[in-house]
Amino acid sequence: MDIRHHEGFSVTGFTVRTCNLSEQEASTAKIASLWQHFYQQASAHLEAQSSVYGVYSNYESGVSGKYDLTVGATRMSPDCLNGQVELAVPAGKYLVFSAKGEMPATVINLWQEIWTYFADSDCLQKRAYSYDYERYLDDSSVEICIAID
């Protein structure tokens, strides 16, 4: 992991509001179906240079509160998607974690590592709970960028 300053960017995609507790139960989980919806609706509209993101924002109260997840891409063809949103992610300082492996297990395990890291009493960084995001580099590589103060 390393600290990086990232420039702002925008993604176009779809958003749900959820919380980590809801995601532990199949009957209330929304994230898997959001990703499925994105790929069903948007894959034909992705441009060659598109980068796919999962952006977490509008945190209610830290790690256990509700948040918005927007699944989208940086470059989409101009065709409109039904129900799409555009989200602007501001520039900021991020702690970047990365992993490679089979998805979605790899990204789930990386989130576990992140939660453990920030729960440690010796942790030197403090989460900002503003904008965090997953950036998918290819089918088996992901970076998770956590906004820090």
Tens digit of each residue's pLDDT (9 = 90 or more) over 111-141? 999 999 999 999 999 999 999 999 999 989 9
Structure tokens at 23: 């995601």
Residue with tokens 């088996």: 140
Q: What is the pLDDT of residue 2?
A: 95
What is the pLDDT of the chain when averaged over all its residues? Answer: 92
Task: Say if residue 78's pLDDT is above 60.
Answer: no
Asked if pLDDT for residue 80 goes beyond 70, the answer is no
Q: What is the CATH number of domain 2-148?
A: 3.20.80.10
What is the domain partition of the chain in residue ranges? 2-148
C-alpha span between 36 and 38 (Å, rounded) = 5
Model confidence at 88: pLDDT above 70: yes
Phi–psi pair at 73, nearest 5 degrees? -140, 155
Query: Which pLDDT score is estimated for 76?
Result: 72
What is the average per-residue pLDDT within 138-147? 96
pLDDT at 103 over 70: yes
**How far apart are alpha carbons 19 and 63 in whole angstroms?**
8
pLDDT of residue 129: 96
As a whole number of angstroms, the distance between CA 65 and CA 19 comes to: 6
The token duo for 24 is 């532990």
Identify whether 104 is preceded by a cis peptide bond (ω within 30 of 0). Answer: yes
